Structure 1
Amino acid sequence: MNEQTGARRVVTNMSISLDGRYAGPDPLDMSWVMPYAITDVARDHLASLWAPATTALLGRVNAEGFLGFWPSVIDMEGADPRDVGFARWLVDVDKVVLSSTLDPDQAPWERTAVVDKPTVEAVADLRATDGGDILVLSSASVIKDLLAADQVDRLALNVFPIFLGDGPRLFDGGLSTAKWELVSQTAGEHGTLALVYDRVR
Structure 2
Amino acid sequence: MTEQSGGRRVVTNMSLSLDGHYAGRDPLDMSWVMPYAHTDVARDHMAGLLEAATTALLGRVNAEGFLGFWPTVIGMEGVDPRDEEFAKWLVGAEKVVLSSTLGEAPAPAPWERTTIVDKPTAEVVADLKATEGGDILVLSSASVIKALLAADQVDRLAITVFPVFLGDGPRLFDDGLPAGKWTLVSQSAGEHGTLALVYDRVR
Provide the residue aligned with 2:53 in structure 1: 53
Instruction: Give 2:41's aligned residue.
Output: 41
Q: Secondary structure at the match of 2:123?
A: helix
Task: Structure 1: give runs of 5+ residues left out of the alignment.
Answer: none
Structure 2: any 5+ residue segments left out of the alignment?
none
Note the C-alpha offset of 1:176. 1.2
Aligned equivalent of 1:10: 10
SS at match of 1:88: helix
Match of 1:78 in 2: 78
Match of 2:193 in 1: 191
1:32 aligns with 2:32: yes
- Measured after TM superposition, the shift of residue 2 of structure 1 is 8.2
Percentage identity across paired residues of the two chains: 78
Q: Could you tell me how far apart the structure 2 residues matched to 1:171 and 1:165 are? A: 16
Task: Name the CA distance, whole Å, in 1 between partners of 2:181 and 2:42.
Answer: 25
2:123 is the counterpart of 1:125: no
User: 1:151: which partner in 2?
Assistant: 153
Residue 39 (structure 1) shift: 0.2
Instruction: Please list every run of at least 4 consecutive aligned residues from structure 1 whose deviation after the TM superposition is greater than 3 angstroms.
Output: none
Q: 1:100 to 1:88 in 2, by over 3 A?
A: same
| Offset at residue 50 of structure 1 (A) | 1.3
Tell whether the 8 Å contact from 2:160 to 2:194 is kept in structure 1 after alignment: yes
- For residue 36 of structure 1, what is the amino acid of its counterpart? Y
Secondary structure in structure 1 of the residue aligned to 2:23: coil
TM-score, L = length of structure 1: 0.96
| Distance in 2 separating the partners of 1:122 and 1:42 | 28
For normalisation by structure 2, the TM-score amounts to: 0.95
Computed over aligned residues only, the root mean square deviation of the Cα atoms, in angstroms, reads 1.3
3-state DSSP of counterpart to 2:183: strand
2:176 to 167, 174, 177: 174
Q: Distance in 1 between matches of 2:19 and 2:179?
A: 21
Cα distance in 2 for residues equivalent to 1:81 and 1:134? 23
Give the secondary structure class of the aligned counterpart of 1:27. coil
Query: Residue 92 of structure 2 corresponds to which residue in structure 1?
Result: 92
Could you say what secondary structure the match of 2:182 adopts? strand
Contact 2:57 2:97 in 1 (8 A): yes
